[in-house]
Amino acid sequence: MNKDKILKERLKVFEKLLNAGYNTDKKIMDMKIEKIILLSNFSRAELMIAVEIKQALISKTLISFFSGIDKKD
């Protein structure tokens, strides 16, 4: 998948998180996947991206994550 498509998908999920009330670093870091599953507007792939956003925020690699840069790069 090219980097533009990766960025669009990740930003789309980030926007869904914001619209669902996950609008601070703390709320995203404290987010439980069980609560996200209850939100009907998230596909399985989007749930995985939401978890990746949480992990990137916790590991302080959010910009690299949104840039599509792999940890090995």
Cβ atoms within 10 Å, residue 22: 22
Q: Quote the domain boundaries for residue 62.
A: 3-67
Task: Please say if the pLDDT value at position 9 is more than 70.
Answer: yes
% the chain with pLDDT above 90:
66
Confidence at residue 68, expressed as pLDDT on a 0 to 100 scale: 81
Q: What region does 69 belong to: left with phi over 0, alpha with psi -120 to 50, or beta? A: beta
What's residue 1's pLDDT? 64
Q: Is residue 14 part of a domain?
A: yes
- Average confidence score pLDDT of the chain: 89
The verdict on residue 8 lying in a domain is: yes
Total domain count, the chain: 1
Contact of 53 with 14, CB cutoff 8 Å? yes
Residue 72 lies in a domain: no
